Amino acid sequence: MQVVAHRGASHEIAEHTLGAYLAAIETGADGLECDVRLTADGHLVCVHDRNLVRTASNKGVISTMDLDELDAFDFSSWKNPWSDLDDESPDMDPELGKVLTMRKLLETVASADRRIELAIETKHPTRFGGLVERRLVQLLEEFGWTGDDSPVRVMSFSFTALQRVERLAPDLPIVQLVDKAHHWPMLRRVIPRDWIVGPGIGELTDHPGLGRRLREAGRRVHVWTVNTDEQLELCQQLGVEAIITDRPAYMLERVRG
């Protein structure tokens, strides 16, 4: 079972920061997960929310801001707001807590001394529509990562967005995310057999039939966000291929141990 770090080692370190991803790599995570949005000046950045309220204490909206504007914010202090008063808190390079571009994350993965897979979620709806996927595929092409040997897979809750990716880069693995169990009867009729299915652990827990149907159908399954022993055990019982977790070090110990 592959252990994928959800927004990096986000249980301990602020999500989507370079520091969180470097920590996940250091712990031995098999893969990294990130969300991607497009700035007003056309840069792909690793941010989950459409605005900065939660992660940078600002009301700015990502799609209306340039990269230079985003670069001025601290994206890490919210995780440990009292660190300045903690004498035992380690000093952190400010660069590790700034906004992270998709390019920088790809460079980080490319420079690693082992293969690390990358699960990239495109966020929708967005004012840029399909431009997000086009920009992403263009960037992956620069790295030579659109072939069948690519370490990258693209995920989304948007079926239309994933169709777009498949047209632009037919060899890239695709993950259809599922946040409601009752959506599956419709989705199973339209998503191709070679697409991976990505249900949330909450839906698998609350609706046991969903996991059973996925297993009986022989579907490849990647599950988010798996953080407890009970959740891991359920995924193991279902033969899940990959788990996405906020706690990669903890889950690696459980899976490998």
Q: Exactly one of 6, 11, 43, 222 is catalytic; which is it?
A: 6
Q: Exactly one of 16, 43, 48, 124 is catalytic; which is it?
A: 48
Measured between alpha carbons, how far is 119 from 169 in angstroms, rounded to an integer?
Answer: 15
The structure tokens listed for 17 are 């920061």
CA 162 from centroid of its chain's CA atoms: 15
Q: Does 48 participate in catalysis according to the annotation?
A: yes
Q: Does 6 participate in catalysis according to the annotation?
A: yes
**Four-residue CA torsion sign, 169, 193, 121, 30:** negative
Cβ pair 151, 115 in contact under 8 A? yes
164: left (phi over 0), alpha (psi -120 to 50) or beta: alpha
Task: Return the bridge partners of 34, or none.
Answer: 120
Helix (H) or strand (E) holding 72: none
Cβ pair 86, 94 in contact under 8 A? no
Residues forming the active site: 6, 48
